[in-house]
Structure 1
């Protein structure tokens, strides 16, 4: 049953009053994922949460309480981090392009750490820091020569807006060092996303660490001491499919050996960043069947959720093409193969052209598992003006806690004074 996905939270009866469609987030799963990741990393490493995965306030508060730090890449995400209780001094502000006004505001609010991707970005940050007469730290993002194997989305080793090409930095290191108000205190190396095995994770971190060790020597000759390595993440999780977070057995000793063998003494501090691993398996989309019909010899199921509620960015290759698992066993009926469509007035609103689903009728409720990351917040929310799904926060470790129900506003204004 759909309710079985929520049984652990002990809120099946109390969710009866929540109208579909709704995203249900379980804070207990967020805690478990965070604890599992922390235990799989060297004890001194920091973990940054990438707000782009899901900036819901309850999830942010839970992660902040657990010791995660915020990684943001927009004025709206910065506001969300501050409202969740992080101080501006804890924020890492990233992104390949930043408006002068956004940098100015971030510095005024107290952000002191930025990731930069080019000489232009360094000069821009220097100008803002000089205008405020403050000293800022930056992490220089590096686009390595080769992509890492096994990645879901290439972030390096290809032409990209992310990072300065390694060959460029090695050829002209002086252009990235020596600014009066901006100190290059670290390197940012993010190879790829959604890696599904420990072997693939270790391989990408090995490549990044070796590149970083090389750059530590180069920049030392130009008066810059590398104090921090942000190795990104890539920790995979299922998306819109059944399954659990990937196991990370063996990752910690492999990383400890890697750092011991490859990094200089004293070694820089290490940080990782992740979004989907922490919140992906904590979210379930619950949605109702609006129509079931036959069309040109095929069954067609129309749901009240479509690309406006889940997976709009699949068309931009940000997330995999959907074909989601639809979970439900209404009245013990059988299975059917059907086209899965949403309610939008466009033929583009398809989750799957052919998928096996429970044999459904109008009014039945189905669920899509593992959409806590890049679900609601990576969808085409304003397209065609349908109502937003509710967001329901539960806590599987506290069955007596009432569900917290909210609804995302169609337009949020952030970062304007």
Structure 2
């Protein structure tokens, strides 16, 4: 849950539970701290919308960054919310997203998860199997409501240039396209839950425009075939995402200047009513919309030499960034760790190291050798207490990490807009008795 210190007011930066002498950044922010810039979120949204065909909808995938300030900003820009857990649903609702603008996805849902979503007013779901269709129909019947769903599809093949392929292999995601094509009656629903669209998400993190266009082109062709097989008008074709972004290293968002024109032509041929929302075409993004809005501020705790290698220990590690890199959910972590805004050694009187810049092993504070970001990565000359920043960590940062491992406090999350701090809070976790 998100615990906001009642002392925190817009324009201030206050830690929920600071250590007795917290290391602070020049602006007073205790470290480690994620800083999210809403102006960068708006810029990324405008950039992505310019690459998409019109008319089309855009979902924000909360898994990238569910901070309420980020979610509410994107919703005000017109994004619907894609969630896949009770926690993400709660984050979307807390951010002011109405239930009618929420799509609840995920390859496996507990009965109580669906019941909670229905009670909150959610009426749009994505399902991945015959069982999931029946499960949703039963739940809707129990609540006395009718719902629509997107059938997620797993076509054959895969997408070149992808950071992570989502289809083409045995997977929890989606029903096999061939089974949907040959036995569509299994997937069209019951009295209370009916198919209203298709959900295709072939791959993620594709920086190359041609490769991304190929991925969407494959999805469009699958949609054309399955729309004919289902034999009824469908409301939505969600083509998923795949938009790339730099992760924990300096860099700019990829440009896709020819994508809209290419997809417009392919959609005209495959789904001729799409310009009139028959069906509505939708896309999803989390990474592209938020990656460049965030940076992780950190302090150096120790600098030493070990067996001829410079080792730098920071006050943050895999518990706050990159914990899922080994699971291939985020790219392997080879971070650029830089002084933010040209900052040098902090605190008058401190003697900085005289070592020249060069490769260093970059480690976190956890009591395990697994807490290593890089074995050998260029790093400026630093000394204990120096402030550093890891850029482009607005997506798959804190919420894709091992925050509970070894019990260190979660980092502060600071939201800025135009250089002004508008919110500061920290995730806390509380053990409570259950009946």
TM-score > 0.5 by shorter chain:
yes
Counterpart-to-counterpart distance in 2, 1:295 and 1:343: 16
Pairwise mapping of residues 186-225 of structure 1 onto structure 2 (< 5 A)? 186-220=197-231, 224-225=232-233
Asked if the contact 1:381–1:410 (Cα under 8 Å) also holds between the matched residues in 2, the reply is no
CA distance in 2, matches of 1:369, 1:214: 42
**For residue 337 of structure 1, what is the aligned residue in structure 2?**
359
Alignment-derived partner of residue 16 in structure 2: none
Q: 2:139 maps to which residue?
A: 128
**Preserved CA contact (<8 Å) 1:115 1:141:** yes
Superposed, 1:95-134 pairs within 5 Å as: 95-134=106-145
Q: Distance in 2 between matches of 1:120 and 1:302?
A: 49
Corresponding position of 2:270: 262
- Secondary structure (helix, strand or coil) at the match of 1:120 reads helix
CA distance in 2, matches of 1:15, 1:317: 35
Residue in structure 1 matching 2:395, options 361, 373, 377: 373
Q: Deviations over 1:184-209 (max 9, x none)?
A: 01000000000102211110111000
The equivalent position to 1:36 in structure 2, one of 19, 24, 47, is 47
Task: Please state how far the C-alpha of 1:410 moved relative to its aligned partner.
Answer: 2.9
- Alpha-carbon shift at residue 14 of structure 1 (Å): 9.1
1:128-277 superposed matches below 5 A: 128-220=139-231, 224-265=232-273, 267-277=278-288
Q: Which whole-Å deviations, capped at 9, do the CAs of 1:10-40 have from their partners, x for residues lacking one? A: x9x9952111111010000000011111122
Measured in 1, the distance between the counterparts of 2:73 and 2:101 equals 16
Distance in 2, matches of 1:251 and 1:412, equals: 48
Instruction: Determine the structure 2 residue equivalent to 1:47.
Output: 58
Shift of 1:269: 0.9
Task: List gaps (5 residues or longer) in structure 2.
Answer: 1-12, 14-23, 346-351
CA distance, structure 2, for counterparts of residue 121 and residue 393 of structure 1: 38
Post-superposition shift, 1:144? 0.6
3-state DSSP class of the match of 1:16?
Answer: coil
Q: 1:264 offset after TM fit, Å?
A: 4.1
Q: Matched residue of 1:92: which SS?
A: strand
- Mapped to 2, the partners of 1:178 and 1:393 lie a distance apart of 43
Deviations 1:51-106 (A, max 9, x none): 01001111111111111110000011111111111111111000000000110111
8 Å Cα contact 2:130-2:186 kept in structure 1 = yes
Deviation by residue 1:204-226 (Cα, 9 ceiling, x = unmatched): 11100001000111111xxx322
Map of 1:393 onto structure 2: 415
**Rounded Cα–Cα distance in structure 2 between residues aligned with 1:46 and 1:265:** 15
Matched residue of 2:115: which SS? helix
Tell me if 1:72 matches 2:83. yes
1:311 equivalent in structure 2 = 322
Q: Distance in 2 between matches of 1:372 and 1:19?
A: 18
Report the Cα offset of residue 171 of structure 1.
2.5
What residue is the counterpart of 1:4 in the other structure?
Answer: none
Tell me, yes or no, if the aligned pair for 1:307 and 1:351 is still in contact at 8 Å: yes
Q: For the residues of structure 1 that align with 2:385 and 2:144, how far apart are their CA atoms? A: 61
User: For the aligned residues, what is the CA RMSD?
Assistant: 2.0
Residue 346 (structure 1) shift? 0.6
Give 1:409's aligned residue: 428
Structure 1 position 411, deviation (Å) = 4.8
**Kept after mapping to 1: 8 A contact 2:181/2:230:** no
C-alpha offsets along residues 159-199 of structure 1, whole Å, 9 cap, x if unaligned?
A: 11000011221232111125111110100000000010221
Q: What residue in structure 1 maps to residue 349 of structure 2?
A: none
Partners in 2 of 1:323 and 1:178 — Cα distance?
46
TM-score, normalised by the number of residues in structure 1: 0.92
SS of 2:402's partner is coil
**Deviation digits for residues 322-351 of structure 1, max 9, x if unmatched?**
121111263698412111111000111100
Alignment of 1:24 onto 2:46:
no
